[in-house]
Amino acid sequence: MATGNHSSPTAPSLTIAPRRSWRLRAALILLVIVLALLATFWSAIRGYATTGASYGARVACSCRFVGGRELSDCRKDFEPGMELVTLSENAEARSVTARFALVFSQTATYREGPGCVLEPWK
């Protein structure tokens, strides 16, 4: 009989909606926590990233233009943990630019006499 069945077509969606709502709230809370931590430690993160990029540029420039090695070989001189630092070379300007996570960058230029010198920080 039709009166014995108390389920409706909308009943399953009522049980799924709280799960989605809970997941959305958890994701938003996690996002707020990550943003708060990032804002709190941004100065330190920026300092470490700038220092890492500067170190990478200076070491790679010296390796390339003082040591005469290929830029790809210069990564061997990096300290452990510098995997996020990428290098690019401008052979005409005799400079190497190091970038940390595509956000922070620093350039070192070879000059006769003093060797590789970092560009002034902004």
In a domain, 95, yes or no: yes
CA-closest candidate to residue 66, choices 22, 103, 110 = 110
CA-closest candidate to residue 100, choices 62, 45, 36 = 45
Output the pLDDT for position 92: 95
Taking the chain (122 residues) in consecutive chunks of 10 residues, what is each chunk's mean pLDDT?
54 56 90 91 86 94 95 91 92 95 90 92 69
Q: What dihedral angle (degrees, nearest 10) is formed by the CA atoms of 89, 81, 76, 78?
A: 60
In a domain, 4, yes or no: no
In a domain, 94, yes or no: yes
In a domain, 82, yes or no: yes
CA distances 122 to 52, 94, 106, 107, 119, Å, are 16, 21, 10, 12, 9
Which residues does 79 contact at the CB level (< 8 Å), separation at least 6? 55
Output the pLDDT for position 22: 85
Output the pLDDT for position 23: 86
Output the pLDDT for position 9: 54
Output the pLDDT for position 5: 56
CA distances 75 to 26, 30, 40, 100, 113, Å, are 41, 36, 32, 14, 24
Output the pLDDT for position 21: 85
Structure tokens at 13: 């969606």
- Whether this prediction's pTM lies above 0.75 is answered by no
Instruction: Please give the distance of CA 4 from its chain centroid, rounded to a whole number.
Output: 61
Range of the domain at 57: 16-118
In a domain, 80, yes or no: yes
